[in-house]
Amino acid sequence: MPEWLDNSFFAMVGLVIFLALMVYFGVPRIIAKMLDGKIAQIETDIAEAKRLRADAAALLVEYEQKRVAAEREAEGIVAAAREEAERLTVEAQASLTDLVSRRTKAVEDKIAQAEAQAVAEVRARSADIAIEAARSVLSDEMGKKGGQVIDAAIADVGNRLN
């Protein structure tokens, strides 16, 4: 047996036959189809990922705009609330000033009324005391000179009637 006809030769012949059978049954074509399908799936996934990334970027921009608009609206609401609070404060101060002035006027009116009433009561009391004093003096005088006074009054009435 020749020297080149050893185990390596038979292994190489077996490999060539194996490869020939693989090509005969179309294994490389099947593998190529599988790889092409996998490549197409990967390209589809990449395109989908790009589309999703673009959608996410658009949503991010939209939400950022909404956030900025919401912040502006919140600032407007806060400013309006401050203006309303200041207006209400001014109105409350004016109302309080008006209330204080009205109450002061009412108290002054009550004081003036009480003063006038006190003066009237003092006058009435003074008149009562004067009447009482006059009655007392007249009683004393009538007791001492009552007959003379009555005679003079009757004569005076008689003179006036004539």
Residue 161 has pLDDT above 80, yes or no: no
Please report the pLDDT score of residue 150 as a whole number: 72
Q: What percent of the chain has pLDDT over 70?
A: 97
Please report the pLDDT score of residue 95 as a whole number: 93
Cα 87 to Cα 76: distance, rounded to the nearest angstrom: 16
DSSP reduced 3-state for 135:
helix
More confident residue, 145 or 5: 5
Mean pLDDT of 5-14: 90
Contact of 22 with 28, CB cutoff 8 Å: yes
More confident residue, 133 or 85: 85
Please report the pLDDT score of residue 144 as a whole number: 72
